[in-house]
Amino acid sequence: MEAFEIQTTFPVSAMELYLAWLDSKVHSAMTGTQAEIDPSPEGGFSIFGGYITGKNVELIPGERIVQRWRTTEFPINSPDSVLKVIFEEMGKATKMIIRHTKIPEGQAKDYRQGWKEFYFRPMKAYFGK
């Protein structure tokens, strides 16, 4: 199993980022792709047209989201990975930390790049408006 941590900062509150992550409409708008999200504990989600699926494990408003997370590229017998999205408010901005663990061998490098390309970049544009 593989793991990594990456982070970036957005010019919005921690609560705004937290709510955006769990709102189907806003998540779709900030990533530019289809997202269907049940924002409740144990609620499921499907993002990027079903490429990413999973369930919420822990939801602490404005602080942390923990999810069971997998893509269609995971081996069929592979367990879900664990995604922790941590929000640390810093004045008028928020540092968002992605801790992604239990990734199938050989896939972490691609997902690390994917977070930057398919989340951080479009989110910077979305929240920079």
Taking the complete model, does pTM exceed 0.85, yes or no?
Answer: yes
Rounded mean pLDDT, 8-22: 97
Please return the burial class of 52, using the count of CB atoms within 10 Å of its CB with bins 0-12, 13-18 and 19+.
buried
Phi, psi of 96 (to 5 degrees): -110, 120
CA nearest 84: which of 113, 105, 115? 115
3-state class (DSSP) for residue 50? coil
Question: Is pLDDT at 3 greater than 90 in this prediction?
Answer: yes
| pLDDT tens column, 45-91 | 999 999 999 999 999 999 999 999 999 999 999 999 999 999 999 99
Give the confidence band of 129 by pLDDT, cuts at 50, 70, 90. Answer: low
Give the confidence band of 29 by pLDDT, cuts at 50, 70, 90. Answer: very high
